[in-house]
Amino acid sequence: MQMVLPTMIPYTLHLTQKLERKKKDEAERRNHYTPVAPLNATEEERKAWFREQLHHFKILKSNNLTQPFHARVLGFFGRECEAQFFMTWISPASFWKERITVNGKYFQEPSKKACLVILSRTLDTRHGYKIMKPLHDREFKVQAMAPYFSFLVKRTPAETWIHELKGKKDPGEISLPQNLSSLIDLQFSINMVVST
């Protein structure tokens, strides 16, 4: 019978947790479906295709996490933030780890007066918080928040565009996540200017 040394138990536990997280990340990547209209499809074929794929776009749906979005953003930016930044992140949270590892230069020195909101459903989770914890530990003022898309586009041309996409309008060849990211950037900028 082999004896397990007490110092090996924490190491073994750490390896087990790391393997479990890796499996979850791989599953998240497999489950992250980014619908792109088929190439060479006619306008009518793209419309029909998009109607069938619309239920995959969780970002268009509202829930308890997204509805307090506006108040959360104002509360966060009210914390002595002289410079306010935001970015969108529609990809799986596990992709963020790779981006930060590769592009860590963006997060070299924290500014005590700058705040960053990351508009993301995937990072506004427990898993996302764990991924961003190293930034919090280094005193970066950064917060992921699931955007309330309906709020951001309400009474704007984007609201009409989204409504028409549900079967009346050709979604085009650019992927919807890319278009939504651009819309969110634009609408968030406008709403923050109006709110301040």
In a domain, 9, yes or no: no
Please choose, from the candidates 152, 157, 141, 156, the residue with its C-alpha nearest in 3D space to the C-alpha of residue 181: 152
CB atoms within 10 A of CB 82: 9
In a domain, 1, yes or no: no
Q: What is the mean pLDDT of residues 133-150?
A: 87
Asked whether the whole model's pTM tops 0.75, one would answer: no
In a domain, 6, yes or no: no
Mean pLDDT of the chain: 75
In a domain, 13, yes or no: no
User: Phi and psi of 122, rounded to 5°?
Assistant: -75, -30
Helix (H, G, I), strand (E, B) or coil at 118: strand
pLDDT confidence of 143, banded at 50, 70, 90? very high
- Structural domain containing residue 84: 64-195
> Two tokens at 111?
């500014």
Q: Give yes or no for residue 63 having a pLDDT over 80.
A: yes
In a domain, 148, yes or no: yes
In a domain, 47, yes or no: no
pLDDT at 101: 45
In a domain, 113, yes or no: yes
In a domain, 21, yes or no: no
Q: What is the mean pLDDT of residues 33-39?
A: 68
Q: How many domains does the chain have?
A: 1
